[in-house]
């Protein structure tokens, strides 16, 4: 089936910033792409030198590229790990129990391995203004994606990773992707990005976070 989620090619997008955080020479080559969709990010990761394993929900899988097809709400199937890096791009907010998935992934991380995840910020000014005006859109994608089950801010995401046995830190942020809605204003994305870096809880559109298992876990 066709997906509304596609590669975001702006240099300020979560996909491009996520790629900039990953280096097989430093991180190790074994990578799990959780929620790989049609493989647009997996292919770029492979081009960087990672040995990628994808896993995707049956509803989001269109048959290419090869991947493990699995409902992420259920216990994980056997995986060919351990993995040096686990990428979770725009996935956790769609799950009824993201904690269950994170807990299951922890044993599949190699020693010194890490998770890189992109997470929406419901504290973003755009989100707050809609709520202030009494609006709650149901969009195809974005902060008001109708398939989101969690509308969380940074403190909520920290709590989730903490409960799941990880230490989490924000490594990057994205700004409002103005260019997706109004291509003529793409130049504003750089401004939005720098605003987000200056005040991530108000202007951050997404958080790109790194999570490592707690030493006591």
pLDDT at position 5, please? 60
User: Integer distance in angstroms from the first to the last C-alpha of the chain?
Assistant: 39
Query: How many angstroms separate the Cα of 171 from the Cα of each of 18, 116, 132, 184?
Result: 9, 9, 29, 29
Helix ranges (H only) for the chain are 14-20, 24-27, 40-48, 98-105, 125-132, 154-163, 178-181, 188-198, 200-203
Helix ranges (H only) for 11-97 are 14-20, 24-27, 40-48
pLDDT at position 4, please? 53
Contact (CB, 8 A) for 8 and 44: no
pLDDT at 62 over 50: yes
Largest distance between two CA atoms of the chain: 50
The per-residue pLDDT for range 149-205, each reduced to its tens digit, is 999 999 999 999 999 999 999 999 999 998 888 888 888 999 999 999 999 999 999
Place of tokens 């799990």: 32
Query: How many angstroms separate the Cα of 18 from the Cα of each of 7, 41, 108, 165, 188?
Result: 12, 10, 20, 22, 20
Domain limits, the chain: 14-212
pLDDT at position 81, please? 82
Q: What phi, psi does 24 have (nearest 5°)?
A: -65, -25
pLDDT at position 216, please? 66
Give the confidence band of 1 by pLDDT, cuts at 50, 70, 90.
Answer: very low
CATH number of 14-212: 3.40.50.150
Q: What phi, psi does 120 have (nearest 5°)?
A: -75, 155
Token code pair at residue 28: 């190790």
The per-residue pLDDT for range 68-124, each reduced to its tens digit, is 999 999 999 999 989 999 999 999 999 999 999 999 999 999 999 999 999 999 999
The helix/strand count (H/E) of the chain reads as 9, 7
Contact (CB, 8 A) for 211 and 115: yes
Beta bridge partners of 199: none
pLDDT at position 215, please? 83
């Amino acid at each position: 089936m066709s997906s509304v989620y596609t590669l975001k090619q702006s240099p300020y997008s979560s996909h491009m910033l996520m790629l900039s955080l990953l280096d097989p020479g430093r991180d190790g080559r074994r990578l799990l792409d959780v929620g790989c969709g049609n493989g647009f990010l997996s292919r770029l990761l492979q081009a960087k030198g990672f040995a990628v394993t994808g896993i995707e929900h049956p509803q989001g899988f269109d048959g290419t590229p090869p991947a493990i097809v699995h409902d992420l709400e259920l216990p994980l199937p056997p995986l060919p790990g351990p993995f040096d890096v686990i990428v979770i791009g725009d996935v956790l907010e769609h799950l009824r129990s993201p904690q269950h998935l994170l807990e299951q992934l922890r044993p599949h991380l190699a020693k010194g391995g890490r998770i890189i995840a992109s997470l929406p910020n419901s504290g973003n000014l755009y989100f707050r203004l809609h709520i202030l005006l009494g609006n709650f859109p149901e969009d195809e994608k974005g902060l008001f994606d109708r398939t989101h089950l969690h509308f969380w801010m940074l403190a909520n995401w920290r709590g989730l990773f903490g409960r799941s046995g990880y230490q989490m830190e924000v490594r990057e942020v994205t700004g409002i992707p103005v260019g997706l809605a109004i291509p003529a204003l793409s130049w504003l994305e750089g401004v939005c990005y720098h605003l987000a870096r200056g005040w991530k809880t108000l202007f951050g559109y997404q958080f790109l976070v790194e999570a490592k298992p707690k030493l006591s876990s």
